[in-house]
Structure 1
Amino acid sequence: MRSLRRRDALMLLSCAAAGGARATPARITVASYPDLDRAVKLALPAFARRHPGVAVNVVTLSHKDHHTAMTTALAAGAALPDLIALDMDFMGKFVDSAGLEDLSRAPYLAGAQSARFPGYAWRAGVNRRGEIKALPVDTGPGALFYRHDLLARAGLRETDLTRSWTGFIEAGQTLRARTGAYLVAHAQDLKDIRIRAGLADGEGVFFDPQGRSQVQTPRFRRAFELALQARDAGIDARVRAWSNEWSEGFRRGAIATQMMGCWLGGHLKRWIAPGTAGLWRSAPLPEGAAAAWGGSFYAIPVHSQQKALAWDLLQLLALDRDQQVAAFRSLDAFPVLLSAQDDGFLSEPVDFLGGEAARLQWRDMARRIPAVTIDRYDAVADEVVRNELDQVLLHRKGIDQALADARVTVERRVRRRA
């Protein structure tokens, strides 16, 4: 079934590209995924005013199928759109692709725009050779979403969650005892934050700037210890993000917090738990940790037949302040342009979050996130580390042994793919 979906996706893009070649007037094809495709469609009226009569065909696939289809299409050099959407989680795979235009070169010269973006978002689209392979269009500064009503029932305050990780776990035990709710969905979530804490500009999460694995370091050891403490304290529901159990846990008040990108607030409001409006709040991450969850980018394939039009649409999405503010107002897509982050909309109360001005908090987080280096093998290392932590949580494998095995496995897989 998966192979059929990939083949169908490539056929759809091929037909769209072929149609664009025959069409008069010009047509460009944009490949995207939900809900990012809605931001493109929101920009189409402005694009039409710049280019009357130019048709824009937006091809939308599920998040995973889209990135799989783009990987296949770029490898084949065929069935490619004119503009490709990319998620931050996949940038390590695409940032070195020879199939994407280097936007630092003429006629693009995008490097002149770097100061308009937070360093971490800009760096994610730039590879080690200094080639700009994609521009960011939105971002996801991290936040701790929590159920205010459940904390109140347990006699807890926001600071009990944010002051320290020790306090966070202790608050989870109190919450569980007094309300029956779990504090977090899964202990892995704590590891995901802790391995990103304390990084400096230029450092990488899984690899150092020279490409050496960092998984057998004190940073990862502390992250594993924290996750194990959460499991032993009985504060995690043992459900994975985006599962049916995860969503249902939020709807029923069985899970009290989730640390994720600020865009989660929009998902909670629109489709995950709309019946919980007013019960949620947003807080900084524990111990002042600064991290980003996701972010969206667009890139232009080398084999695009409409590069000039694709570049003009990309500039509208990535460099137009008003367009990013409009997407934020309509779609909860947090703007990546620093100028857009100063819009008055950020000061307005968020009804779903009990009327607090949470967007200002997210902006503060966005401006503290370090500009970490993304490595093409980050996804490989992430999978290995996740699997080893499962061995610790489920089968009591020693942490030191788990991290040693993780390092060996990561290095072996990197050599195999190099």
Structure 2
Amino acid sequence: MKIKNIVLCGAMALGAISGVNAAEHEIRFDGFPDFDSSLKVILPDFEKQTNIHVDYLMNNHGDHHTKLTTNLATGSGAGDVIVVDVEKIGPFVASGGLVNLSEKYNADQYQSLFAPYAWAQGKGADGGMYGIPVDLGPGVMYYRNDIFEKYGIDAKAAIKDWDSYIAAGEKLKKNNIQLIASAADVAQAIIYTTVPEGEGLYFDKDGKSVVTSERFVKAFTVAKKIRDKGLDGRILAWSNEWYEGFRNGTFATQLSGAWLLGHLNNWIAPETKGKWRVSHLPDGIYGSWGGSFLSIPKQSTKQDDAWALIKYMTTNRDIQLKSFAKIAAFPSNITTYDDPLFQQGVEFLGGQKARLVFAEVAKNIKPVKPAKGDHVARSIILENALMEVLDEGKDIKTALAEAERLIKRRTRSH
């Protein structure tokens, strides 16, 4: 756990606040890396403008959300501003522990500034806004350009469809290079990006499970083909082996969100600068891969100051662009997309104008409404059923049918 404090000169703060206890203007921001890199850049100006001091507490992604689940359930221990990953926004909103920002701060007046699909994800069943999108995760494929060139693989041809992606993998395998860290990432890409209109990720508009549908069968089938042909490294994301794979060129592609660029460049594999490029996802699919929201827990006693920080980080065009430049957190604020920054080459990606790729993907993502049971369904599908198919050779339709029964039982849906 890492706690970071940024404090203004006490005398200056007290003078500006004129008699109000300075402690009343201190708030805490709870998040996960690489938000700390971004906050270092943007907070000094915010503090100067507002006289609101911001402490921040960073935990790794999983621990952060586990802690927040407990904080919201018990009504204590959460920061004043919390970061919520897109995968958790549905259940966190449904928990009842977050402030309705539409009701309290008329947040809907800012709706036109944001990507429509992300705005929809931050809403509750009552139509109120509970999480303001702070960054998006346009889905892309990162690939090792040096490896592709060495073995005569054309990136555009490789992403034409899943068969051509697999064919590229077979060429790489002959040279002892894996196509991707884990075949599971391919299944996740298909599940996340081919949602029919009116459906959620795992449930239809009436809350009925859709996990035995063709979308899931296809996702599992393509992933199994990659595993059966020995084209993936069976490497879990966010493991030491994963980091080493990026550094050593163990695998040649990774499907992820725009935000991975910040991690690769800032700490995972800075020494591979210039070797990577990005492309669209294979098979002509567009989709979101991650994304974050800022919310205020009801338990916060500094809600007005918390809202001031959320507004600053999301509605302020320049601040969104600063975060984008620092940690590749793709702006949720669509007024940024005509900025010259998008035309600049990205040094880590060999000078490629990658932000234009991210922007094109972001503009083509369709809204997918989150559901209360998403996190339950996700763990059953991606962590249990998919692994049984990939690791144990379980029949795909059997695994999905069993997963659906479990989802119904765990979410009491019918």
Q: Report the TM-score when normalising by structure 1.
A: 0.90
Q: Using a 3 Å threshold, how does the CA distance of structure 1 residues 56 and 157 change in structure 2: closer, same or farther? A: same
Given that residues 40 and 317 in structure 1 are in contact (C-alpha distance below 8 angstroms), is that contact kept between their aligned partners in structure 2?
no
Structure 1 residue 217 corresponds to structure 2 residue 216: no
**1:75 equivalent in structure 2:** 73
- Whole-Å separation in 2 of the counterparts to 1:22 and 1:63: 34
- Whole-Å separation in 2 of the counterparts to 1:361 and 1:253: 23
**1:288 equivalent in structure 2:** 284
Instruction: Specify the SS of the correspondent of 1:355.
Output: coil
Aligned residue runs from structure 1 range 142-181, under 5 A: 142-177=139-174, 179-181=175-177
Aligned AA (2:62): K
Instruction: Specify the SS of the correspondent of 1:139.
Output: strand
Instruction: Give 1:394's match in structure 2, choosing from 370, 385, 391.
Output: 391
- Whole-Å separation in 2 of the counterparts to 1:197 and 1:65: 27
Aligned residue runs from structure 1 range 258-297, under 5 A: 258-297=254-293
| Higher deviation after alignment, 240-249 or 76-85 | 76-85
- Whole-Å separation in 2 of the counterparts to 1:197 and 1:55: 40
Aligned AA (1:27): E
**1:98 equivalent in structure 2:** 96
Shift of 1:147: 0.7
Aligned AA (1:415): R
- Whole-Å separation in 2 of the counterparts to 1:103 and 1:259: 34
Q: Using a 3 Å threshold, how does the CA distance of structure 1 residues 400 and 274 change in structure 2: closer, same or farther? A: same
**2:13 equivalent in structure 1:** none
**1:183 equivalent in structure 2:** 179
Q: Deviations over 1:106-165 (max 9, x none)?
A: 4x1111211211122111111222121110111111110001111112211012221011
- Whole-Å separation in 2 of the counterparts to 1:200 and 1:346: 30
Given that residues 179 and 231 in structure 2 are in contact (C-alpha distance below 8 angstroms), is that contact kept between their aligned partners in structure 1?
yes
Q: Deviations over 1:169-197 (max 9, x none)?
A: 111101211x2101011111110011123
Structure 1 residue 407 corresponds to structure 2 residue 404: yes
Instruction: Specify the SS of the correspondent of 2:389.
Output: helix
Q: Deviations over 1:6-37 (max 9, x none)?
A: xx99xxxxxxxxxxx97545222222222113
Given that residues 345 and 354 in structure 2 are in contact (C-alpha distance below 8 angstroms), is that contact kept between their aligned partners in structure 1?
yes
Instruction: Specify the SS of the correspondent of 2:361.
Output: helix
Aligned residue runs from structure 1 range 215-364, under 5 A: 215-364=211-360
Given that residues 27 and 302 in structure 2 are in contact (C-alpha distance below 8 angstroms), is that contact kept between their aligned partners in structure 1?
yes
Q: Using a 3 Å threshold, how does the CA distance of structure 1 residues 258 and 24 change in structure 2: closer, same or farther? A: closer
| Higher deviation after alignment, 24-33 or 148-157 | 24-33
Q: Using a 3 Å threshold, how does the CA distance of structure 1 residues 46 and 137 change in structure 2: closer, same or farther? A: same
**1:16 equivalent in structure 2:** none
- Whole-Å separation in 1 of the counterparts to 2:198 and 2:26: 40
Aligned AA (1:265): L
**2:109 equivalent in structure 1:** 112
Q: Using a 3 Å threshold, how does the CA distance of structure 1 residues 303 and 221 change in structure 2: closer, same or farther? A: same
Aligned AA (2:329): A
Q: Deviations over 1:248-291 (max 9, x none)?
A: 12221110000000111221122222221111110000111111
Tell me the number of residue pairs that the alignment of Structure 1 and Structure 2 aligns: 397
Given that residues 29 and 81 in structure 2 are in contact (C-alpha distance below 8 angstroms), is that contact kept between their aligned partners in structure 1?
yes
| Higher deviation after alignment, 34-43 or 233-242 | 34-43
- Whole-Å separation in 1 of the counterparts to 2:345 and 2:401: 48
Identity %: 39
Shift of 1:238: 1.1
- Whole-Å separation in 2 of the counterparts to 1:202 and 1:372: 8
Instruction: Specify the SS of the correspondent of 2:150.
Output: helix
Aligned AA (1:349): G
Shift of 1:202: 4.0
Structure 1 residue 56 corresponds to structure 2 residue 54: yes
Q: Using a 3 Å threshold, how does the CA distance of structure 1 residues 117 and 165 change in structure 2: closer, same or farther? A: same
Q: Deviations over 1:34-77 (max 9, x none)?
A: 2113333433233223323x322222222222222222122111
- Whole-Å separation in 2 of the counterparts to 1:199 and 1:104: 28
The answer for unaligned runs of 5 or more in structure 1 is 10-20
Aligned AA (2:322): A
Given that residues 193 and 288 in structure 2 are in contact (C-alpha distance below 8 angstroms), is that contact kept between their aligned partners in structure 1?
no
Where has structure 1 moved over 6 Å in runs of 4 or more?
A: none
| Higher deviation after alignment, 390-399 or 179-188 | 390-399
| Higher deviation after alignment, 97-106 or 209-218 | 97-106
Instruction: Specify the SS of the correspondent of 2:342.
Output: helix
Report the RMSD for the aligned CA atoms in angstroms.
2.0
- Whole-Å separation in 1 of the counterparts to 2:197 and 2:26: 41
Aligned AA (1:40): L
The answer for unaligned runs of 5 or more in structure 2 is 4-19
**1:66 equivalent in structure 2:** 64
Aligned AA (1:101): V
**1:26 equivalent in structure 2:** 25
Q: Using a 3 Å threshold, how does the CA distance of structure 1 residues 48 and 129 change in structure 2: closer, same or farther? A: same
Q: Report the TM-score when normalising by structure 2.
A: 0.91
Structure 1 residue 87 corresponds to structure 2 residue 85: yes
Instruction: Specify the SS of the correspondent of 1:203.
Output: coil
Q: Deviations over 1:269-326 (max 9, x none)?
A: 2222222111111000011111111112111122221221111111001110011111
